[in-house]
Amino acid sequence: MFYSSKLFPSVVLLALCASVESIAQNAEKSQVLDEVVVSTNKYPQKQSQSGKVVSVIDAATIQRSKGKTVGELLNQQVGLTVIGSQNTLGTNQDLYLRGAGAGYTLILVDGLPVYDPSGASTSFDINLIAIDQIERIEILKGGQSSLYGSDAVAGVINIITTKNSGKKLGLSGSLAGGSYDTYRASINAGGQYKKTTYGLSWNGTKSNGISAAKQPETAKTPYDNDGFKQNNFQVKLGQQVGENLTLRADLMSNYYKTDLDAGAFKDEKDYTFENKNLLWSVGGAYQLKNGKLTVNFQQTNGQRVYVDDSAHVEAGAFAKYSYGYYRGVARFAEAYYAHTFSDKVKWLLGVENRWQNTDQTYLSISSYGPYESPAIKASTANTSLFSGYTSLNLQDFNGFGLELGGRYNNHSIYGNNFTYNLNPFYWIGGRLKVLATYSSSYKAPSLYQLFSPYGNEALKPEVGKTGEIGAQYFSKNHQSYIRGVYFNRNIKDVIAYISISQDPWGRYVNLSQQKDHGFEVDAQLGIGKAQIKANYTFVDGEVTTQVAGKDTTYANLFRRPKHSVNVNVSYQILKNWSAQLALRSVSKASSGPYDDAKVILGNYTTLDFYTEYQINSTIKLFFDLKNLTDKEFSDVPGYNSRRRNFMAGAVFSIH
């Protein structure tokens, strides 16, 4: 695809905006685009009643994605880039929302925050979640710390897991296989008996994979494949007590093990990584006359283990053996009350507390003997974070709406900080929504940044301010739309690692300022039996930091393309047979400062094909062919992407 820095954005915008008139003139059979979402204000709300920028991956899209991973699905959404999603299974997934770095997007599972306290960025590993566990995904953009607290700097991604059917017993599942000896299976059982709901599910994946590292021409022996195994279990229970009280309990166990390579262009035959995550939560909701009180408690236990065995030592390797153990525990408790004054005025008031701790050890053995890094113990590496927040939602005052909110935070190490959100919007003629947002956000220092040998307990939170302005135009029947949004984000007190002249030779400090901006356009258009979804994203950014004692500014959105386009065209061939084509095209990107290979990552375009056939009300067959042109490309220097590959299988549902 063409990528002139001046021509490319203009052509894409013209192509998308040209559909506005068609949108107004075409009647579609798809559902009205005013879905109820829960992420915008923590209570069910139609999208038309909010001025926030939210995208929804609905259940129908999830059902057409059985051959994909969560990372692959998110990588097709407007404003999102997931580096590693097109590599071998088990590759680290770096999620960039509107160009923001890893760790600046908060992941929720069923509305509750999940993260890894043992990681330097605390970002949650989306490899842990299987696509079959998900019912829908809501992507809420912009600074959302006033509602969701730390890490919600670029936005929030709420992964909503599958719900129980209203029948006494419902069964569903899938079987699939494909390239690289990849096999996937799932089984779900659930339903409702009187006032009790229940659900039980299992998902498993196994793949021989491909070599994670790209093999250079000078390599004398072929690189081995890097395999992947995954298991997911989930249990859900719900109980209606009387007319007003609902109780629930959820348990989710996620595990995967993958083979690793030694680095870019470097093979490794006995290096493995295991990631275990056990999440359980309990909660309740009490319905009052004009409001609802909700209480939740959640605990997440995570464990990452890296083992590089000594059975095979690669040429030039420093260590003959290494073992890294990283355990993190996160607890979350909240209580909030949503009050309805009228159809036009709603108010939210809540409190929450987050506790986290970590244990970490690392051992390596080389020709110089054993080395063990100073251990990090949970008894000292722990924090708590208390918050109180409120928001007010006004809607439909002669087309005008307003959301405003604030949050007070008290951290056990750095003390207090405050965030806010102001979001006016206005409907013109019932079809054009104009919106603007100005919000502050923050990211608390991680346990590693505070308590590791390089830690600094004097760290302050990173503080972001985001401005957005945009508009969304709907067809007359609200079944097609086009939306454009410009954003500008400024993050101060960015935490950076610097070298120092004494042991331990490095330290984390609040040093830098990050400035990002961009715009995104997305559209949906229905024409008869066809539906077109398209989006375009532009992001750019720079960091100001100190180099040799002087302030220096340079572009730093490494691995993140400035321009990206996704186009999805689906067609209902017959009542029970449909097909779709999906195109993704990205511009060049620079490699990162810590990448082994310093190169410019080339632009590329990939094309995917998907088709499904409904045999009867119970069984559906699907075929998902990805990268059908067999394009060779790389999002990470020195690592392989998947060439032409497929998944095919069957999905069944009995209710």
Q: What is the DSSP string of 255-312?
A: EEEEEE-SBTTB--SSEEEEEEEEEEEEEEEEE-SSEEEEEEEEEEEEEEEEEE-SSS
Structure tokens at 186: 């799932």
Residue 596's pLDDT is 60
Pairing of strands 345-366, 319-342: antiparallel
Per-residue confidence band for 594, with pLDDT thresholds at 50, 70 and 90: low
pLDDT of 476 over the 50 cut: yes
Residue 352 to residues 122, 295, 310: CA-CA distances in angstroms?
Answer: 19, 10, 46
Structure tokens at 510: 């609040």
Residue 27 CB partners (closer than 8 Å, separation 6+): 475, 477, 479, 526
How far apart CA 275 and CA 259 sit, in angstroms, is 12
Residue 221 CB partners (closer than 8 Å, separation 6+): none
Name the residue with tokens 């390579």.
261
Reported as a single tens digit per residue, the pLDDT across 523-538 is 999 999 999 999 999 9
Rg (CA), the chain: 25
Which candidate, 462, 373, 406, 473, places its Cα nearest to that of 104?
A: 462
Residue 315's pLDDT is 65
pTM higher than 0.75: yes
Per-residue confidence band for 477, with pLDDT thresholds at 50, 70 and 90: confident
Which candidate, 564, 563, 566, 573, places its Cα nearest to that of 533?
A: 566
Residue 29's pLDDT is 43
Per-residue confidence band for 600, with pLDDT thresholds at 50, 70 and 90: confident
Stretch 88-94: mean pLDDT: 96
Residue 126, Cβ neighbours under 10 Å: how many?
Answer: 20
pLDDT of 470 over the 90 cut: yes
In three-state secondary structure terms, 644 is coil
Higher pLDDT, 316 or 366: 366
Structure tokens at 20: 């506005």
pLDDT of 300 over the 50 cut: yes
Residue 13 CB partners (closer than 8 Å, separation 6+): 521, 536
Residue 26's pLDDT is 46
Which candidate, 585, 591, 588, 594, places its Cα nearest to that of 559?
A: 591
C-alpha dihedral sign at 390, 409, 124, 113:
negative
Residue 27's pLDDT is 41
Residue 550's pLDDT is 81
Phi, psi dihedrals of residue 516, rounded to the nearest 5°: -130, 150
Reported as a single tens digit per residue, the pLDDT across 422-465 is 999 999 999 999 999 999 999 999 999 999 999 999 999 999 99
How far apart CA 60 and CA 62 sit, in angstroms, is 5
Name the residue with tokens 């009280």.
245
pLDDT of 9 over the 60 cut: no
In three-state secondary structure terms, 147 is helix
Mean pLDDT of the chain: 92
Structure tokens at 248: 């629930």
Per-residue confidence band for 478, with pLDDT thresholds at 50, 70 and 90: confident
Structure tokens at 23: 């949108």
Stretch 101-110: mean pLDDT: 96
pLDDT of 5 over the 50 cut: no
C-alpha dihedral sign at 60, 61, 67, 68:
negative
Residue 28's pLDDT is 40
Reported as a single tens digit per residue, the pLDDT across 220-234 is 899 999 999 999 999
Per-residue confidence band for 37, with pLDDT thresholds at 50, 70 and 90: confident
Per-residue confidence band for 475, with pLDDT thresholds at 50, 70 and 90: very high
Q: Which residues on neighbouring strands pair with residue 240, listed in sequence order?
A: 246
Residue 598's pLDDT is 62
* Domain ranges (residues) in the chain: 7-654
7-654 maps to which CATH number?
Answer: 2.40.170.20
Residue 328 CB partners (closer than 8 Å, separation 6+): 116, 117, 118, 119, 300, 301, 302, 303, 356, 357, 358, 447
Structure tokens at 607: 């094309």
How far apart CA 180 and CA 453 sit, in angstroms, is 41
Higher pLDDT, 30 or 284: 284
Residue 445 to residues 31, 149, 298, 374, 384: CA-CA distances in angstroms?
Answer: 43, 13, 21, 20, 12
Residue 30's pLDDT is 45
Stretch 370-399: mean pLDDT: 96
Residue 597's pLDDT is 57
Cis preceding linkage at 113, omega within 30: no
Higher pLDDT, 272 or 12: 272
Cα 357 from chain centroid (whole Å): 23
Reported as a single tens digit per residue, the pLDDT across 233-270 is 999 999 999 999 999 999 999 999 999 999 999 999 99
Per-residue confidence band for 651, with pLDDT thresholds at 50, 70 and 90: very high
Residue 443's pLDDT is 99
In three-state secondary structure terms, 180 is helix
Do the beta carbons of residue 310 and residue 321 sit within 8 Å? yes
Q: What share of the chain is helix, strand, coil (3-state, %, to 5)?
A: 5, 60, 35
Which candidate, 482, 561, 483, places its Cα nearest to that of 8?
A: 561
Stretch 265-291: mean pLDDT: 96
Structure tokens at 53: 């920028």
Cα 555 from chain centroid (whole Å): 24
Q: What does the buried/exposed string (b/e) look like for 59-73 if buried means 16 or more CB atoms within 10 Å of the residue's CB?
A: eebbbbbbbbbbbbb
Share of the chain above pLDDT 90, in %: 83
Reported as a single tens digit per residue, the pLDDT across 106-131 is 999 999 999 999 999 999 999 999 99
Which candidate, 37, 53, 51, places its Cα nearest to that of 142?
A: 53
Stretch 545-563: mean pLDDT: 87
Residue 230, Cβ neighbours under 10 Å: how many?
Answer: 23
Per-residue confidence band for 23, with pLDDT thresholds at 50, 70 and 90: very low
pLDDT of 335 over the 80 cut: yes
Which candidate, 162, 156, 260, places its Cα nearest to that of 202?
A: 162
Length of the chain: 655
pLDDT of 2 over the 50 cut: no
